[in-house]
Each structure stands twice: as C-alpha cells, then as structure tokens.
Amino acid sequence: QGQLVESGGGSVQAGGSLRLSCVASGYTITPALMGWFRQAPGKKREAVAGIATGGYGTFYADSVKGRFTISHDVAKNTLWLQMDSLKPEDTAMYYCAAQVGTWGSWYVDYEYNSWGQGTQVTVSS
C-alpha cells in the first residue's frame, strides 16, 4: 500500500507563487495518472491539474490554465504543482492523488484510488 505526502502549502499575497510537492512511496508500480485537486470550505472538491506519468500529456482546469504547471519526475517519485499569479479564489486545501493500476478521467475524483493528506494554500488580497 503506497502513500502520498504533500508539502509546500502556505500563505501568500495575490499575484505570488507557491510550489506544491507530492512524494509517492511504497507503490509497486508507477501510478499511470496523477493529479492535484482542491477543496475550499463549503465547496465541492475540484480537479486542478493532471498528468499522465508515461508522458502522454498534462491537463488543466480552465480556472488555472496559464497560471499553474504540473510536472512529474519518475526517478524521484515526485509530483509538483507550480502555482503562479495566485488569486484569492485559489485558496483551498490542495490534495495530491494517484490512479494506481487503473486509468480513468483525470478530472474525476473517484477515478483516483490513492490520496494524500492535503496541504493548505491561502491567498490574501
């Protein structure tokens, strides 16, 4: 049973940047698809970005396209989310997720079978 551990969250002013990291450990196979989700208080969890670890592409929600960049290093078993030009509406708990031994839609949370504990991102105006 593998695990995902996020880090890099924090507080930043609007227009600033943060870089989230997610280290995967204990998996016997590399997850085919990994993603970042977020959930703000009182709101549903939403997909932010996804990446096919085999090099088949990256995917972004319209709300973050052009501002966020997802990347992955197989050798380091690490997923990143570079977040630039942050806005107050980006404030949320951010979760790393992985599809291990399966392949589904990148933006559908129930397609992921492994989740991290989350890291808080707060953007002030």
Q: What pLDDT score does 1 carry?
A: 78
Tokens of 25: 């450990």
Tens of pLDDT, residue by residue over 37-79, are 999 999 999 999 999 988 889 999 999 999 999 999 989 999 9
The full DSSP string for 21-66 is: EEEEES-SS--SEEEEEEE-TTS--EEEEEEETTTTEEEE-TTTTT
Q: Quick check: 30 pLDDT over 90?
A: no
Tokens of 67: 């501002």
Query: Could you give the percent of the chain with pLDDT greater than 70?
Result: 100
Q: Quick check: 121 pLDDT over 90?
A: yes
Q: What pLDDT score does 120 carry?
A: 98
Q: Quick check: 90 pLDDT over 90?
A: yes
